[in-house]
Structure 1
Amino acid sequence: MKKLVLLILGFILGALAMYFYVHNDKNEENMDETPVPSGMIKSPKIKTLTEAYDPRYNAINDSVFKGVEGGDNRSSWYSLEDLQNFITLAQKQAGELGYTMNGVRIYPAAHPPLEGQPGYSTFLLVPTGYTNTSEGNMLSIQKGANGDIIGSNGLNNGDDGNPPGINYPQ
């Protein structure tokens, strides 16, 4: 009887070990299968697009920032940790506000003038989604899909470029 119990215990432990071994292999394989987001572009395209922005940047700089050393911001930098925390908190807040978050909209904006100097440009990240509605049927109704989530918090205060007016790459 004692040998039977040890055999069954050995079988169970072996099955558990095999489960975790196979499970870990699948996780490692899936990491290589991360889907490429639509709109993913390579570095040369980034350079082309940022250079195409030059005339707009120069028009703003020459009119609003005339005589201001360094010129206006051309970019904003956000830490990976801040972005991940923002998305986590925004999803939670969206649920509390009755929305399902499905993206982030980026708004160009500017800080107010301070002491006679124009405010630097910045970029605001605002969660988007659709309202959670139920009309007593099995179909999910999405109202305002991809709209800004009204009443939600956004993300600002990315670091300025160094110097502010430098183009890609920094």
Structure 2
Amino acid sequence: MKKLSYIILGLIIGALLTYFFCPRNPELDSMQTKLETAEKFELPKGLLKQDYAKELNNNWTKYRKPAVDSCAAMGGHKEDDRSVWWSSKEIRNYIKYAKKQADSLDYKITGYRVYLGVYGQEAGPEKCDLTTMFLVPTGKKRHAEASVSPFNFRGNDQDLPIPPLNRGGGGSGGYPN
């Protein structure tokens, strides 16, 4: 029995010496840490091939642009906006803002909806009657109202009472070829 304890003690000491004195590859350790802490993501649903996106944009130009621009011309404008641009910083900032607002109102954000709108007289002569787009957070109450039915017939993605994001840079150009 005494010899067995010496063998076990020897194995433990040998394992510790191996651990502390064997060279390690810090580059490999660093890569492992980066892999473990890297943000995981899912491939977004609804991705388009670039060629198909160009085709859709060309279809809009062919079938909608003349009608939209003729309406803009009645308001004294050469052409209407057909896209809106926000910087990635603005979008990230808005998402943080919307989440904070939703939390304070006891809502859970489930997505964002993009709406088309048209500026009125209050926007001034340079924007009046022109198209705009704005982003609205959608979601549901965190603590649903009690119900006998286990089904929610009202839908889960209602527009939340949070100020939408507008004032992106407008553009009349189409999808880049």
Does TM, normalized by the shorter one, top 0.5? yes
Q: Does 2:135 correspond to 1:125?
A: yes
Report the counterpart of residue 148 of structure 1 in structure 2. 159
Query: Which has the larger strand fraction?
Result: 1
Change (3 A) 1:108 1:19: same
Distance 2:94 2:64 in 1: 30
> SS of 1:72's equivalent?
coil
Distance 1:56 1:67 in 2: 17
Report the counterpart of residue 102 of structure 1 in structure 2. 110
Report the counterpart of residue 7 of structure 2 in structure 1. none
Distance 2:138 2:109 in 1: 6
Change (3 A) 1:120 1:64: closer
Residue 53 of structure 1 deviates from its aligned partner by 1.7
User: Which of 50, 60, 72 pairs up with 2:57?
Assistant: 50
Normalising by structure 2, we get a TM-score of 0.69
Normalising by structure 1, we get a TM-score of 0.71
Change (3 A) 1:36 1:25: closer
Aligned residues: 150
Report the counterpart of residue 4 of structure 1 in structure 2. none
Residue 80 of structure 1 deviates from its aligned partner by 0.3
Rg larger in 1 or in 2? 2
Seq. identity, %: 28
